[in-house]
Structures are given as C-alpha cells and as structure tokens.
Amino acid sequence: MTEDQEQTQQAATAVLPKPQQRARHYLMCRPTHFDVCYSINPWMNPELATSNERAQLQWQALYDTLAGLGHRVEVLEPTPGLPDMVFAANGATVIDGKALVAKFRHPERDGESAAYLDWFDAHGYQSVQQAGCYNEGEGDLLYTGQVLLAGTGFRTDSASHAEAQKFFDVPVVSLRLVMPTFYHLDTALAVLNTEEIMYYPPAFSDESQQVLRELYPDAILASDDDATVFGLNAVSDGLNVVLPELATGLAGQLRERGYQPIGVDLTELLKAGGSSKCCVLELRQATLSA
C-alpha cells in the first residue's frame, strides 16, 4: 500500500462508527456425521484422513466461544448421510424473521434443505420459502443490515439475487467470484458491521472489485496468507470477530480498528472447505412460537 493510499484509508477509517457488540441469535449443527467422502470443492480430498472426534471438539469450542460472548445459540439435529450439514450457514438466509431456505447445487447436499424447512416450521416461522434458483444461503448471501451482498460464480445462481431481493425487500449488490478455492462469498468476504467489511480482492472479478472499492473504500483487505487459511470466514457481532487463529495478519488489522479478534482452530473442518462462519447461520429478528 502506498503512502497516499494509507492516508486515504486512515481518513476514511476516522469517520467509521466505533465497534459495538450486539446480541445475536445463531443456529448451528453438530458435526456428528462429518467426513470427507466426496469432493465438491477444491479443499475436499476423500483420500486425506479426517477425524470426526477432532471435528466435534473444534466445533464445540466454536459453540462455547459464541455462547460465552452472550449470544443465543440453537442447534439443529444433524441428519445421517449428510456430512456437510455442519456448515449451517449454507442452509438458509434469515432477515426480519423471514427464512429463504437453500437450494443446493450439488446432489450430495440436496437433502439438507428439508431439514431446514422442518426446523423453521417447528420453531414457528411464518414466512419460509425454499429458493427456486440455486442459492446456498449465507454462504453467498451476506446481510449488512443495509444491503444484501450476494455472491455468484460457483454455487449460487445470479438469478437467485433477484429472488432474494423480492423475498426480503432489501437492496441486493451482486458480486462475482472468480477463484475456485473461494467458491462461496463467505470465504472471501466478511461483514463486520453495517458499514465495514473485510475481503480478499483477487477472489472477485475486476468489476466486483470496483463495486467493493466504491461501497467500502475503508475495507480491511486480506493478504494471500490470511485468505488461504480462511481468515475471512469469520463471525462478527459488531465488536468480537471469531476467525481462524492462523489469520494473524487479519487479527492485527482488526485490533487496529477497535475490534476484538478471537482465534479458533477449525482446521479439521477446513478439510471440507469450511471454517467459523460456515458453521453459523444468523437468525435475524426471528419471531418464534411461544
């Protein structure tokens, strides 16, 4: 970064709101059946040994971290035969109590949608719909509180962006991913609060990089090293940012902005192409039955 760029970023950062925690409501799913027995992204190698025991311990540490921060964390019962169900963020997008359930691109994950539809129905959600186009939930739809940042290029169809905009009645900004190792938006971009994000520019098309620069000129930019350990697959409550512990550069940048980074070890789940955010679906202003 040049001296002029640093001065510009410092000036922009000076007007950002102070990081502030807001209580969240999350849904997670235990990795009871976790395994890597097929390959639907570049991270997955069925020939590489995995440990279900280690995956469960790492998942529990993430659960305990979020609960320990004061957030409400519910747990979806895992379904046998669906080893990727631990990645709850992919199951739906929830805004103002309305749930748009995923339609998965790969048949290996298709059965997960029914489990989410059943969960939302059992918990009293009145406005629930399964996506008509391929749409992998918060994997590719990240809500800032003002706009829905929507990824496409590998899993989620661009046509699903209009569907989400109509369902939620919120503005949508489409972003194209171009690197197969960053196949979901939440692997290449994290929402920190309503006005601030962090992302990895090379994961996006030139046009999408320009959109992000215009919308978020003060964004935190991830290095190659931090991006490749899934440092951007992070969960933020507006103050605390839970991210892979190996993403030390991002942790330092977050501290400089006033955030409190909390490192976790999810290296076993990374063998399936997921980390902190992949495991957590946010239930925004959900209206539950008594």
> Torsion angle, CA of 281/92/173/233, rounded to 10 degrees?
30
Verify whether residue 106 is a known catalytic residue. Answer: no
Please state, in angstroms and rounded to a whole number, the distance separating the CA atoms of residues 113 and 117.
Answer: 6
Please state, in angstroms and rounded to a whole number, the distance separating the CA atoms of residues 234 and 91.
Answer: 17
Of 29, 71, 161, 184, which is the active-site residue? 184
Phi, psi at 264, each rounded to 5°: -130, 155
Structure-block tokens of residue 206: 């030139």
Q: Which of 135, 150, 104, 142 is nearest to 232 (CA)?
A: 142
Verify whether residue 278 is a known catalytic residue. Answer: yes
Q: Which helix (H) or strand (E) holds 226?
A: helix 224-228
Please answer whether residues 168 and 98 qualify as being in contact, where contact means their C-beta atoms are separated by less than 8 angstroms.
yes
Residue type, 46: P
Of 71, 161, 278, 279, which is the active-site residue? 278
Name the residues annotated as catalytic.
Answer: 184, 278
